Amino acid sequence: MLAQVSAGGGANVVITDKTTLMKLKTPVKFSVMQSLGKTPLMLIWKKGAAVDGPQSLASDGIARIAHPDAKAAVYGRAGLERVNSQSAAFKNKVKPKLMQVAGVPQVASYVVRGEVDAGFVNYQAAMKNKDKLGGVLAVEHGYEPIEMVAAVVDGQLQDAGVQAFLKCLQGSKAKKVLEKAGIR
């Protein structure tokens, strides 16, 4: 996305998570990062799986855990951070069970179909599939918080459209849309 911005793709505001944006090496500079709110990492599991929280991932009843590519998806990064923030015993049991897939939709699909026992996804994927799953849980700790931002490309802040968009994002209608997407 930022390669397109750098090449003159015409974007003047980028919406993404702040941590990923700050870690990327890019010539694109930003003048303002307006916070939209935080969103949790979600743990989902298949029907019939005995899960009552992230600690259950180390149990013998959980054989495979899917996560999105940590380099391409913030929820993959956060899921691995959550696993790595735990005790050595937990990590030793869980790491061999981890299976990286391309993105959040693949994780959700594999869990819904029962091809893996559990997975890390975003709020939207968890809520969209909750009736097809054994359970859904917001994982609030053990990873760098996921803060969504509207980052204004340097030199674009004075653009009338950018100003209107930023103002719109602060309004009550936008807040309702963001909350529906799990951003609080």
Sequence ranges of the domains in the chain: 1-38+146-157, 41-139
pLDDT at 1: 76
pLDDT at 11: 82
- Mean pLDDT, residues 93-100: 98
E strand or H helix that includes residue 112: helix 104-112
Strand order across the beta sheet in which 13-17 lies: 13-17, 146-153, 30-39
- The answer to whether residues 92 and 25 touch, using CB atoms and an 8 Å cutoff, is no
pLDDT at 20: 85
Q: Which positions ≥6 away from 54 have C-beta within 8 Å?
A: 43, 82, 86, 137, 139, 142
Average model confidence (pLDDT) for the chain?
A: 95
pLDDT band at 23 (very low <50, low <70, confident <90, very high): confident
Look up the pTM and report it. 0.90
- Mean pLDDT, residues 62-80: 96
Pick the CATH number of 41-139 from 3.30.70.100, 3.40.190.10, 1.10.10.60, 3.30.2310.20: 3.40.190.10
What type of residue sits at position 170? Q
Give residue-wise pLDDT tens across range 137-154. Answer: 999 999 999 999 999 999
For residues 5 and 100, the model is more confident at: 100
pLDDT band at 72 (very low <50, low <70, confident <90, very high): confident
pLDDT of residue 8 exceeding 90: no
- CA distance linking residue 14 with residue 12, whole number of Å: 7
